[in-house]
């Protein structure tokens, strides 16, 4: 079982933690010790100038290591390692690819519309997605609800973060999320492995894993966390 007393000092530490634990929410949550936030040094988590080193590492971690990132747990962001993402996606997708889910009447037209925009234009920034999808002032509503649901179901993930630049070419401000589908980000061959086992088997495998990490945690809390 991985040591839960680790401290994140560097980007390398963050990558190591995600790969060792398999699942790592970004923010504090009902399971004590199950977040990036709780394991960061103060000067890594938040600096006096208002910047977060660990926030700036997210894009490189995603790009360089092929780690899945998105609003996976209760509408909040988390990393999932490449090793664990197939079982996680299988469970969250309930064994369906997106087209199959739509054909069975389990997807709304608005969700299908956004999924197709992302799939056809990936990777696409949230700003560009809102523009081409008309989620602007006076346009369609519900952007955050739909994009969060698609991430929770593992049909969409965050593939990078981009930054605005000043006249000197220096990055500034908060990172702007870029979205993709797992099929575009990881490749179709990798994503075909999502359906290698029964959905219930994937769920039980994840549940056992989290329970091994936190053996004293109430199983109902873990189940609620997994959704």
pLDDT given for residue 3 in this prediction: 60
Higher model confidence: residue 80 or residue 138? Answer: 80
Banded model confidence at residue 173, pLDDT cuts 50, 70, 90 = low
The pLDDT tens digits of the residues spanning 3-13 come to: 667 789 999 99
Q: Which H or E element spans position 163?
A: strand 157-165
Joined together, the tokens standing for residue 151 give: 């991430």
Rg (CA), the chain: 18
The pLDDT tens digits of the residues spanning 17-30 come to: 999 999 999 999 99
50 pLDDT exceeds 60? no
Residue 95: name the closest of 14, 153, 137 by CA: 153
Joined together, the tokens standing for residue 136 give: 């602007």
49 pLDDT exceeds 60? no
Please tell me the distance from the alpha carbon of residue 135 to that of residue 128, in angstroms, as a whole number: 10
- 92 close to 152: Cβ distance less than 8 angstroms: yes
């Amino acid at each position: 079982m991985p040591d839960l007393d680790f401290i994140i000092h560097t980007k390398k530490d963050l990558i190591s933690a995600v790969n060792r634990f398999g699942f790592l929410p970004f923010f504090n949550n009902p399971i004590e010790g199950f977040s990036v936030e709780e394991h960061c040094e103060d000067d890594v988590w938040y600096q006096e100038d208002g910047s977060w080193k660990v926030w700036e590492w997210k894009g490189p971690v995603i790009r360089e290591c092929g780690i899945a990132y998105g609003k996976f747990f209760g509408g909040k962001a988390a990393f999932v390692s490449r090793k664990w993402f197939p079982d996680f996606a299988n469970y969250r997708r309930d064994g369906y690819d997106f087209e199959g889910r739509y054909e069975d009447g389990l997807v709304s037209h608005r969700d299908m519309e956004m999924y197709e925009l992302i799939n056809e234009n990936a990777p696409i920034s949230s700003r560009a997605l809102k523009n081409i999808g008309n989620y602007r002032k006076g346009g369609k509503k519900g952007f955050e609800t739909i994009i969060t649901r698609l991430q929770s179901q593992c049909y969409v993930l965050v593939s990078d973060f981009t930054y605005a630049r000043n006249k000197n070419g220096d990055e500034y401000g908060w990172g702007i999320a870029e979205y993709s589908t797992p099929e575009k980000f990881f490749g179709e061959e990798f994503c075909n492995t999502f359906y290698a086992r029964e959905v219930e088997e994937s769920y039980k495998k994840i549940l056992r894993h989290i329970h091994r990490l936190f053996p004293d945690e109430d199983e109902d809390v873990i189940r609620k966390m997994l959704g």
